[in-house]
Structure 1
Amino acid sequence: MAQLLGHPGCMESLRADLRDLQAAIADVSSRAGAVRAPSWKFPDRVSCELDMAALLEQYRHCPGDPEVSQHGHVVLLELLIDR
């Protein structure tokens, strides 16, 4: 499994899952109201106020730097937990 850490296909799949999950959260929040709870990943911020589009743009595969890609992969997994 460690060989998949930072793999572009895995990261893009995670990014798609996060976009889908964020859309579902937005749909439910529009009807029931936002839940104002601290973010697990960013405890100093409220989870419903995270800019997921900016975070998804920031944490993506970096072809020339495997360490940056691996870090981004871990952060995407953490954002999945946060959601």
Structure 2
Amino acid sequence: MSELLGRRDCIESLRKDLVDLQGAILEVFSRTGPVRFPSWKFPDKLSCHLDMLALMERYDFIDGEDTFNQHSHIVLLELVIDR
């Protein structure tokens, strides 16, 4: 399983999942208002205050940067859990 860590296709899939999840969350928020709970990934922030665009831009795949890509993969997976 570790051979999948940091692969471009895995990171792209996680990014698509995050976009879908964020869309569903925004749809719920439009009806209920923001839900004010601490973020699991960033406990010092409310989950509704995370700048998902900035986080997804920061943790993207970079050719030739295996260690960073593995880190990005883990962070994006944690953000899926956080959502």
TM-score bin (small chain): over 0.9
Alignment match, 1:16: 16
Residues 14-67 of structure 1: CA distance to partner in whole angstroms, max 9, x if unpaired? 000000100000000110111100000000000001010110000011112100
Is 2:72 aligned against 1:72? yes
1:25-64 aligned at under 5 Å gives the runs: 25-64=25-64
5+ residue gaps, structure 1, are none
Alignment match, 2:82: 82
What's the RMSD between the two structures over aligned residues? 0.5
> What's the TM-score once normalised by structure 1's chain length?
0.98
Letter in 2 for 1:78: E
Q: Could you say which structure has the greater relative contact order, defined with CA pairs below 8 angstroms and 6 or more residues apart?
A: 2
Count residues with an aligned counterpart.
Answer: 83
After the TM superposition, which parts of structure 1 deviate over 4 Å for at least 4 consecutive aligned residues? none
Q: Percent identity?
A: 60
